[in-house]
Amino acid sequence: MKYKRIPCELFSKNRIRFSEKMDNNSIAIFHSNDLMPKNADQEMAFKQNSDLFHLSGIDQEETILLIIKHDYSVSEHLFIRETNEHIKIWEGEKLSKEQASETSGITLVDWHTNFKDILYGYLKKPSIVYLNSNEHPRANIVVETRDARFKKWFKSKFPNKIIKKASNILYPIRAVKQEQEIALIEKACNITKLGVKRVLNFLKPGVFEYELEAEILHEFIKNRASGFAYEPIIASGSNACVLHYNSNNKICKSGDVVLMDFGAEYANYSSDLTRCFPVSGRFTTRQRNVYNSVLSVFKNAKKILKPGLLLKDYEKEVGKLMEKELVDLKLLSIHEIKSCKSTPAYKKYYMHGTSHHLGLDVHDVSGPDQPLCEGMVLTVEPGIYIPEEGIGIRLENDILIGKKQNKDLMEKIPIETEEIEDLLNI
C-alpha cells in the first residue's frame, strides 16, 4: 500500500457500530475479494472488498472476519494469509499476525487455512448468521464472488441456520462517515486538486486525451494515491456527450471543450470530480452560456442538500432548476415541459442523477430510502449534453453534509469560467 497507516480505532469503532445492530446469539462473516485472473499466469491488481476493509482495515487477499455476538457480549476473530517461502520470494511477505492485529485492532488472529475448523466451533450455538453480499441497487454481478461461493457451501453444510444479509446493517452505517473517514476522503480530494493543477498547465490544442490522463495519473501516484478511483473520462468535443466515455484516444482540438471526470483514490477512499476546460483557453459564447447554466444548477443543488431530505425528493427539485436553464438556453419550451407526462422533458439533455453517496466506493452504499444526515458525503454533478452542437458540460464536487452547514470538499478547485480562463492563459 502507498498510503500512510490508518489508526485501528477507526475500524474498531466501525465494528462496534455493526455489532450493536446484530441479533443476540448471531455471527457475521466477511470475506476479502478474489485475486482476479488475466490470461495465462497473470492476475489483476488486487482490490479489497470495501465492506471487509471498512470493518478491519486489512488490505490483503484471503482475509476473513468473524464478528460473534453471544449473550450480549461481542468477540472478533480475524483470519489472514500465511507467508511461506514461495510467497516470500515471489510476492513478498504478507501481514504477520501481529501486524494484522495492529492494523485492525483485533486481538485474535489466525491463518485462513484454519478458518473452517474454527468456524464449526463458533456455530454450535448461534442460530442467526449474517453473510455478506453486494446489494448495491445498480450492481451488475457476472462473476461469482468469494462471498457468494461461501454462501453456497454454508447453506449446504448448515441448512438449519437462519441467514440474514449483513448489508441491511452495514450499508446505513457505511453511509455515515466517521471523522477519520472524512479526513481520508478529503485527502483524496486534495490529491485530485493537484491533478487539476497539473493538467491545466498541460492542456493545449493538439494533445491527445490520453496524454491528459497520463499527466493526472503521474500527479496521483506521486502523492501516494493508489491511482484513479474509477476509469477516468477525458472527453473532448462531442465525446463529452457520451456519459461513460473512456476511450480517451482523440486529439483535443482548438474550439472544443474537454470534459474531465476523474478522482484520486487514497487509502481505498474515493474522490469524484468533473471539470470542463476550453482547449484553446477561451469559451465561445455558446459554450460559456451552457457552462454557466450547469454552474447555476450546481450551486443551487448544493444548497438544497440537507439532513432529513430524501434523494428522490432532492432530484425532483434539481429537475425544476434544470428545466429553467434549458428553457433559457432555448433547448426546451414551457409547452414541452408541461406536455410530458412520464419522463421529464429535461431528461433529453440531462439523463443522469445529480448526486450519489461517496466513500470506499465511488457510488457508495446507503440504506434504502435512508434520509440524508450529518456525516454523509455526496457528489453534486449536474450536466447538459447537446450532441447536435458537440457540447457536453458537467460539473461535480464532493459535499459533506453538515448539521447546519455543508462543506464542499473541493471548493478550492477552480470552477468559475473566469478563473479557468485565467489559469489557462497564464
Residues with catalytic annotation? 41, 244, 261, 272, 352, 356, 363, 381, 385, 394, 396
Grid cell listed for 307: 439532513
**Start-to-end Cα distance in the chain:** 37
Residue 74: count other Cβ atoms within 10 Å of its Cβ. 15
- Choose among 108, 25, 109: nearest CA to 68: 25
- Choose among 32, 50, 393, 94: nearest CA to 229: 50
Q: Facing residues of 396 across strands?
A: 274
Inter-residue contact 56 to 106 (CB < 8 Å): yes
DSSP code of residue 237: G
Give the list of residues 6+ apart from residue 115 with CB closer than 8 angstroms, or none: 64, 79
Residue reference for cell 487539476: 196
Inter-residue contact 259 to 35 (CB < 8 Å): no
Give the list of residues 6+ apart from residue 212 with CB closer than 8 angstroms, or none: 199, 202, 203, 234, 248, 252, 258, 260
Residue 130, CB-side half-sphere exposure with 13 Å CA sphere? 24
Q: Facing residues of 138 across strands?
A: none
Q: For residue 261, which phi and psi values (nearest 5 degrees)?
A: -120, 105
Q: Using CA atoms, how far apart are residues 398 and 378, in angstroms rounded to an integer?
A: 6
Inter-residue contact 277 to 257 (CB < 8 Å): yes
Q: Using CA atoms, how far apart are residues 256 and 301, in angstroms rounded to an integer?
A: 27
